[in-house]
Amino acid sequence: KGLITFDIPFREYDYFKYLVIGGGIAGVSCVEGLAFLHPDASIGLITPSGIVKAVTKAVPVTKLLSDITVEETDADKLEGMCRVIVDNVTAIDPRVNSVLTESGREIKYSKLCLCTGASPRKIWYSPHVITIRDTDSVETLQDKLKTVKKIVVIGNGGIATELVHELSGVDIVWVVKDKHISATFLDPGAAEFLQETVLKKTESTPETMFKRMRYNTEGSAGPSLGPDWHSNVSLHGVARDTHIVIEYACEVERIVDAEETDTSCNVYVKLTNGKTLACDIVVSAIGVVPNSNILVRGPPFELATDSGISVNEFLQTNVSHVFAAGDVCTPRWEIAAHWFQMRLWTQARHMGSYAAKCMVGAVKNEPVLQDFAFEMFTHMTRFFGFKVILLGLFNAQTLGNDYEVLLRVTRGVEYIKLILKDGKMQGAVLIGDTDIEEMCENLILNQLDLTDIADDLLNPNIDIEDYFD
């Protein structure tokens, strides 16, 4: 009686206090942080697939460093913390604080965090070029390996390095733009240390006895440090032996598909050193480009030179109420002397949780202190059972030629490299069970003058940790 009904379409979940885009480590860590810091607030996560990536285990190694395990998991598992919306964001309208999605939804927010990650850099387009990004692309490669005899691998980061090591039963030409392999993570000495161990292991491990690795170049070469994405994947080709050739200090100029009548190979790769390589497939792992090209209705995002969305010390973008974290962003704050950005899980995780703190701080109008994780670069991975820890300016980044190196190498056991400047520790590469990561972390953070004890720092007969206790 007297009741008027309106025919308004009911749109479920069209407003969230906090909205996060992207179900990678940054996005999931952000949601976890938001749910913890502001449990009664509405939180939405937009992700294109029902599978998200999460850190399922984090074992503290030092104050700043944790040994993390990353797993793909059902997005449903986050439902206790947030509302998961499986969709793709196509545009942001900051004038009305809303995002628009592929399926036609408009979702409003108070604070938004972009965690859209990065995509592998693609320069060449050919059905014979594979770019390794996710498990799907590794499966494509596995499939192709059933028929190919010769592969060209392009790239000198962790992914290319591990790939070259994991591939077997196939001829590989590895094209690296630097003078030594794995330059993103390793100096030539560390590369050589690992190579020796790997080759020794190959001889004594029965199941890999068939694998013969030959390097036709001088100096350091061979498998080395890299991400552990390949651990459950078998990358065996059809041949019995593996033959690796490394082309140093050159890049790919052109890739041309072979004529259909050409039965010798699928594709030709022309290098800047004048050589042309004939092969069956090319695997490209030449870095990533941030997914920063989301349409903004209004002034666009300010981008850094690497195409990452510029963020300030509170991970805020230039667009009001919009934050960014993980691979998609690039810091434009004055970074600490021993920290720098590398697009890795650890940093995606730190940034995701820190973004949550900043977003909640902004909503509650509370001050936020920058996270301690941005004081110093830390990364831990494993290589052939070796613990590999990288701390601070581990490759003497930003130091030019003005630094000192302390080195201790025990073949097959450990490789320790400490970087000192003006007697103070700046960075460290610790391979093996060195047990000095905590000490190194403290010395990098507190910048203690080590001039008088530098000679003893790596003396195996002196328990240097006692000295600092």
The tokens of 238 are what?
């059809």
- Contacts (Cβ under 8 Å, ≥6 apart) of 305: none
242 binds ligand FAD per the rule CB under 6 A: no
How distant, in Å, are the alpha carbons of 3, 43, 87, 296 from that of 327? Answer: 53, 22, 20, 19
Question: In a 10 Å sphere around its CB, with 0-12 CB exposed, 13-18 middle and 19+ buried, how is residue 146 labelled?
Answer: exposed
Q: How far is the CB of 329 from ligand FAD (least distance, A)?
A: 8
Q: Which one, 268 or 383, has the nearer CB to ligand FAD?
A: 383
Q: Using an 8 Å Cβ cutoff, are 444 and 391 in contact?
A: yes
Could you say which DSSP state residue 371 is in? Answer: P
Q: How far is the CB of 123 from ligand FAD (least distance, A)?
A: 16
Which of 173, 344 has the CB closer to ligand FAD? 344
Which CB sits closer to ligand FAD, 118 or 391? 118
> Considering the rule CB under 6 A, would residue 25 count as an interface residue with ligand FAD?
yes
- Residue 19 or 181: the one with the smaller Cβ distance to ligand FAD is 19
Cβ-contact 287, 121 below 8 angstroms:
yes
Closer by beta carbon to ligand FAD, 85 or else 420: 85
Number of other CB atoms surrounding residue 426 within 10 Å: 24
Separation CA 458–CA 460 (nearest Å): 6
Q: Whose CB is nearest to ligand FAD?
A: 24
* Residue 23 binds ligand FAD (CB under 6 A): yes
- Structure tokens, 358: 């900043």
Nearest approach in angstroms of CB 116 to ligand FAD is 4
| Binding of ligand FAD by 327 (CB under 6 A) | yes
Stretch that binds ligand FAD, among 275-283, 323-331, 399-407, 413-421 (CB under 6 A): 323-331
CB of 134 to ligand FAD, least distance (A): 7
Q: Establish if 382 lies at the interface with ligand FAD (CB under 6 A).
A: no
Single residue of 67, 81, 83, 88 touching ligand FAD by CB under 6 A: 88
Instruction: For tokens 């019995």, name the residue.
Output: 240
- In whole angstroms, the minimum distance from the beta carbon of 402 to ligand FAD comes to 29
Shortest Cβ 450–ligand FAD spacing (Å)? 30
CA 285: distance to chain centroid?
Answer: 12
**Measured from the CB of residue 196, what is the shortest distance to ligand FAD in angstroms?**
23
Provide the token pair at 171. Answer: 């001829």
Name the residue nearer to ligand FAD (CB basis): 61 or 199: 61
Q: How far is the CB of 56 from ligand FAD (least distance, A)?
A: 14
Tell me if 157 contacts ligand FAD by CB under 6 A.
no
* Dihedral angle sign, alpha carbons of residues 187, 188, 190, 191: positive
Other residues' Cβ atoms within 10 Å of the Cβ of residue 142: 13
CB of 45 to ligand FAD, least distance (A): 9
Residues 263-292, mask of contacts with ligand FAD (x by CB under 6 A): ----------------------------x-
Number of residues in contact with ligand FAD, rule: CB under 6 A? 33
Q: Is 365 left (phi over 0), alpha (psi -120 to 50) or beta?
A: left
Q: Which stretch binds ligand FAD (CB under 6 A): 42-50, 145-153, 206-214, 248-256?
A: 42-50
125 vs 328: CA distance, rounded Å = 23
Find the largest Cα–Cα distance for the chain: 94
Q: Which residue's entry shows tokens 């942001």?
A: 92
- Candidates 117, 155, 223, 237; binder of ligand FAD (CB under 6 A) is 117
Q: CA 258 from chain center: how many Å?
A: 34
Which one, 85 or 439, has the nearer CB to ligand FAD? Answer: 85
Considering only CA atoms, which of 308, 316, 311 is closest in space to residue 361? 316
* Footprint of ligand FAD (CB under 6 A): 21-27, 46-48, 53, 88-89, 115-118, 132-133, 159, 227-229, 291, 294, 326-328, 343-346, 348
